[in-house]
Amino acid sequence: MKRLGVAHLADGLVALPMDPRTREHLEWIADEVVDGGGSASLWIAAPASIRDEQSIVDAMTTTVAGQYEAVATEADAAREAPDPARRRILARLRRELRRIRQRDYFPSVARDRAVRAVERLAAVLESA
């Protein structure tokens, strides 16, 4: 569930934006739970108010923005690392960006900053 970027609302209750991708992932998880002898059900719901919806969006956006900021900070710092280390860090940060994007339902400026930082790191390697 964490890989999907769910917003935890209460014990055992999570929220995700309703789109075909998230629904399919949740159905797979429910099938795995049932195949393992447990019980699972999916419920489709809507927040009771715009304020409730915005609160969920804000929580999800804040979490993902923090992950993007960590990538940007590490990419900026890696520009000073020795060449072999930079290459490994660049490959890992590119993978991390892909993972974060999969749970980034409400793109923000933090994503742009992280992408630019990783691109700057790549440019340092290309110029070396």
Spatial neighbors of 80 by CB under 8 A, at least 6 apart, are none
64 and 2 within one domain? no
pLDDT in tens, 6-29: 888 888 788 888 888 888 988 999
Q: Based on the domain organization, do 58 and 25 belong to the same domain?
A: no
Give yes or no for residue 127 having a pLDDT over 90.
no
Residues 70 and 105 in one domain: yes
Own/partner contacts of 43-46, CB < 8 Å, gap of 24 or more, are 44/18
Q: Are residues 23 and 52 in the same domain?
A: no
Q: What is the pTM of this model?
A: 0.81
Residue 27 and residue 69 in one domain: no
Q: Could you give phi then psi for residue 108, rounded to 5 degrees?
A: -135, 180
What is the DSSP code (8-state) at residue 128? -
CA distance 95 to 88: 11
- Same-domain check for residues 31 and 63: no
Q: How far apart are CA 79 and CA 125, in angstroms?
A: 8
Residues 76 and 119 in one domain: yes
Q: Which of 30, 45, 60 is the last residue of a domain?
A: 45
As for how many domains the chain has, the answer is: 2
Range of the domain at 2: 1-45
